[in-house]
Amino acid sequence: MINLKKYISELNTKSELALSIFLTAGYPDKKDFIKIAELVYENGADLMEIGFPFSDPLADGTVIQRSSLEALRSGFILNDLFRYGEQLKLKYNKPLIAMGYANSIVNYGNADFFRDALNAGFDALIVPDIPYDEYEDFYADNIPNLPVINLVTPTSTDKRIKEIDTVTDSFIYYVSVKGTTGFRRNVNQQTLDEMKRVRSMISKNKMLTGFGISSIEDISTVSPYCDGIIIGSAVIKKIMENQDEYESLSYYIRELKCATTKRHQQNID
């Protein structure tokens, strides 16, 4: 298992922001998914989040709703997620994170899920509908100790951020906009002030920023205030629009990695 905190620290030491790319498991279909995941790693993604689709994804905007539904229609089952993990880990020694809604896990059996995800090579888990209030109950059976990444938002209080920081041991997923995934709102001074506040409350974890980040400009603006960025909907959109054997997707990932490398250096200078 990769130590995520250490892994991100090493990138930061090289003046790079960590680039985490979200993909919907089984989208657009089982075969192409692996091909896309490999392209994403090959073109520079440092971490990968594989979202296991749910019929009612509350925190997601239209793009991920659509990819989730299509993945389910093409026959995705939870066992496919573990198989993807195993396959990718054989080729790439890079962080792999499972992300999905609580009901899929409850239905599979919490203890079984934590064990099987770990055995399949996943380094961490994100469940967007398990807030800190439900943390203890939900992870009571996490005996194999699969690291859990918790979300923090601009509305989280200082006290709460500190509590979440205490129970987390990898990175905090900072949701930079009030909205669902893919929600576009220009990164403004308020966004940055909120990021500064949140980051100052985090002492033992790295902080990666996601939701509403998609352009090189966004990355450049937020880079001084976090340790990495997460891109989801914008990537899924490229997959939806694919007409060139994922050439423009690969190009996009390279561009993003380039931005997380250069921009961070510039800002530090």
Q: Which residues are catalytic?
A: 49, 60
Residues 64-83 that bind another protein (CB under 8 A): 65, 69, 72, 77-78
All residues at 6 or more sequence positions from 237 whose CB lies less than 8 Å from its CB, including other chains: 63, 182
Answer for which of 56, 112, 244, 245 binds another protein (CB under 8 A) is 56
Q: Closest separation between CB of residue 184 and another protein, Å?
A: 11
Q: Closest separation between CB of residue 7 and another protein, Å?
A: 24
188 binds another protein (CB under 8 A): no
- For the purposes of burial, counting CB atoms within 10 Å of the CB of 265, is it exposed (0-12), middle (13-18) or buried (19 or more)? middle
Contact 97, 117 (CB under 8 A): no
Q: Which stretch binds another protein (CB under 8 A): 60-68, 190-198, 245-253, 257-265?
A: 60-68
All residues at 6 or more sequence positions from 172 whose CB lies less than 8 Å from its CB, including other chains: 149, 150, 151, 152, 161, 164, 165, 198, 202, 205, 206, 207, 208
Residues 124-153 that bind another protein (CB under 8 A): 128-134, 137, 150-153
Cα–Cα distance, 151 to 229 (Å, whole number): 13
Strand pairing category for 124-126 and 151-152? unpaired
Q: Considering beta carbons, is residue 92 or 132 the nearer one to another protein?
A: 132
Q: Considering beta carbons, is residue 104 or 220 the nearer one to another protein?
A: 104
Answer for which of 1, 29, 55, 166 binds another protein (CB under 8 A) is 55
Whether the bond into 57 is cis, omega within 30 of 0: no
166 binds another protein (CB under 8 A): no
61 binds another protein (CB under 8 A): yes
User: Nearest CA to 250 among 32, 47, 22, 39?
Assistant: 39
Q: Considering beta carbons, is residue 155 or 188 the nearer one to another protein?
A: 155
Answer for which of 24, 168, 180, 250 binds another protein (CB under 8 A) is 180
User: Nearest CA to 19 among 216, 156, 268?
Assistant: 216
Cα–Cα distance, 156 to 134 (Å, whole number): 15
Answer for which of 102, 192, 216, 258 binds another protein (CB under 8 A) is 102
Q: Closest separation between CB of residue 34 and another protein, Å?
A: 20
The site for another protein (CB under 8 A) is made up of: 54-56, 58-59, 61-62, 65, 69, 72, 77-78, 101-104, 106-108, 128-134, 137, 150-157, 160, 175, 178-180, 183
